[in-house]
Amino acid sequence: MVVNAGPMTEEAEHNADQRDPARLIPSSVQSPSSVRGACPSLAAPMHTGDGLLVRFRPSDPALSIQQIRQLAEAAACHGNGLLEITSRGSLQIRGLREETLSALEADIAAAGIVPDSGIVIEIPSLSGLDPTELSSAGVMAENLKRAIAGMPLPALAPKLSIVIDGRDRIGLGSLPADIRLTATRREGGDPEWIVAVGGASRMDRRLAILPNERAISATVEILRLLAEIGPRARGRDLSIDRLRPSFPDIEMIEMTDPGRAVASPIGLHDLGSGNLVFGLRLPYGQIHSAELIAFLDRAEEWGVYEVRPALEHCLMLVGMRPEALASAKLAAANFGFSMSTDDPRNHIHTCAGTRGCASAFYDTKAFAARLLTASGLLDGSTSIHLSGCSKGCARPARASLAFVGAPMGYGLVVNGSASDAPVAYIHENDLKSALDDLSRLVLNEKGAGESVDACLTRLGSDYIASALRQG
């Protein structure tokens, strides 16, 4: 049965952006993972349904086959063997226990992997490899880390992030960032950096265009301004009035997009001179260590010497020999990797679900397999978020459709995020018929040349909820 979720109350509307993310979870099953806060790390793991979870980003994104193999072995020895790559390219290890954390940390160190600490600084996965990179994001990041290390700062927001985009073929313009440095070159000049705060690249407030050293000084100044506001301040909280004394040309910076079209990390990337990089997306962002080790054994046969975690839950295999490509594609398919941007699984965003989180109300992986049969919903334009609870870990941003775990089944959110109020609830026994009804609705209502996402947006949540109730 599909049940009307009912209108939001006046109080709920007033507090829409301040909702308790665990509001659908009965207090009896809430856990520390039900509350948003600092990201999990080696020093501060997160409690989940399958034990503790740690997340980290290697300070050097270029990992050898042996390093990845040692990491997978450590995950199997000290956790449940599940490894994940997040949408932003961080590594996660699941199923840990309090007594295994120190041993895991020792094994990571023994592998020569140094997790980043302090303020998160993100760079493109191909930085330093891609000859099209306008300016080295990796070098800029190292220089910035040294500058920050010598700067006495009070506590900053735990999720504050800095993105440095050297503008290689796989840019970071889609990533939200508190501070963004984007390489640019004015006609006849040397590469410089656009310094901006808040949002994704098209929503940033651009402050200045500066050469390397001055861009680093500007970033340090922005951190100082954030520290003045307080320990929860983010880039979006910096007003023009607060920024103007440090950046007097702020209103004169051109607001046009500085970049070019960028590629997805998924698929084959020819860097020239026979240097191939093969980007593979983990199946729903997750793989078991035994499978990863077996795959890495094959990868060495193909000439792969380096592996880099990347955006979109991807592993970038560096050094692929052209003659080994056919064998690599066959093996990748057998291991469940996505190799193409048009794979419908790329548009399904799942959290761990009940297999790995105490806060979840349903098995998101099983739902994903069922969703693939609802072919009318996956045309490449839609993003479908399967969230075990209203916390929305897998995709904080808007999705075309979100199915949010709730005690009575699934809350359906149309053109919103998992924390938004559902327009309807679907009983767990009625999922198949609801998916069939949604597919049929889109098929009947979609105009010629119209995408599924555009159709859902045009129809609107009220119409869709009414149609589902009528069956």
pLDDT in tens, 241-282: 999 999 998 877 765 444 556 789 999 999 998 899 999 999
Lowest mean pLDDT among 58-62, 315-319, 428-432, 454-458: 428-432
Residues 323-364: tens digit of each pLDDT: 999 999 999 999 999 999 989 999 999 988 988 788 899 999
Return the HEC string of the chain. Answer: CEEECCCCCHHHHHCHHHCCCCCCCCHHHCCHHHCCCCCCCCCCCEEECCEEEEEECECCCCEEHHHHHHHHHHHHHHCCCEEEECCCCCEEEEEECHHHHHHHHHHHHHCCCCECCCCEEECCCCCCCCCCCCCCHHHHHHHHHHHHHCCCCCCCCCCCEEEEECCCCCCCCCCCCCEEEEEEECCCCCEEEEEEECCCHHHCEEEEEECHHHHHHHHHHHHHHHHHHCCCCCHHHCCHHHHCCCCCCHHHCCCCCCCCCCCCCCEEEECCCCCEEEEEECHHHEEEHHHHHHHHHHHHHCCCCEEEEECCCEEEEEEECHHHHHHHHHHHHHCCCECCCCCHHHHEEECCHHHCCCCCCCCHHHHHHHHCCCHHHCCCCCCEEEECCCCCCCCCCCEEEEEEEECCEEEEEEEECCCCCCCEEEEHHHHHHHHHHHHHHHHHHCCCCCCHHHHHHHHHHHHHHHHHHHC
Which two tokens mark 237? Answer: 């909280």
pLDDT at 201: 60
Q: Band of the pLDDT at 200, cuts 50, 70, 90?
A: low
Stretch 159-183: mean pLDDT:
92
Distance separating alpha carbons of residues 223 and 361, to the nearest angstrom: 39
pLDDT at 198: 85
Q: Band of the pLDDT at 389, cuts 50, 70, 90?
A: very high
Q: Band of the pLDDT at 41, cuts 50, 70, 90?
A: confident
Query: Which residues lie closer than 8 Å to 194 by C-beta, 6 or more apart?
Result: 180, 181, 182, 183, 184, 206, 208, 209, 253, 258
Q: Band of the pLDDT at 35, cuts 50, 70, 90?
A: very low
Query: Is the confidence at residue 299, as pLDDT, over 80?
Result: yes
Lowest mean pLDDT among 101-115, 190-204, 294-308: 190-204
Q: Band of the pLDDT at 449, cuts 50, 70, 90?
A: very high
Q: Band of the pLDDT at 376, cuts 50, 70, 90?
A: confident
pLDDT at 18: 31
Neighbour-count burial of 409, counting CB atoms closer than 10 A to its CB (0-12 exposed, 13-18 middle, 19+ buried): buried
Mean pLDDT over each residue of the chain, to the nearest integer: 87
pLDDT at 171: 84
CATH numbers and ranges of domains, the chain: 2-25+359-470 (3.30.413.10), 34-115+265-343 (3.90.480.10), 126-252 (3.30.413.10)
Stretch 279-302: mean pLDDT:
95
pTM, to two decimals: 0.84
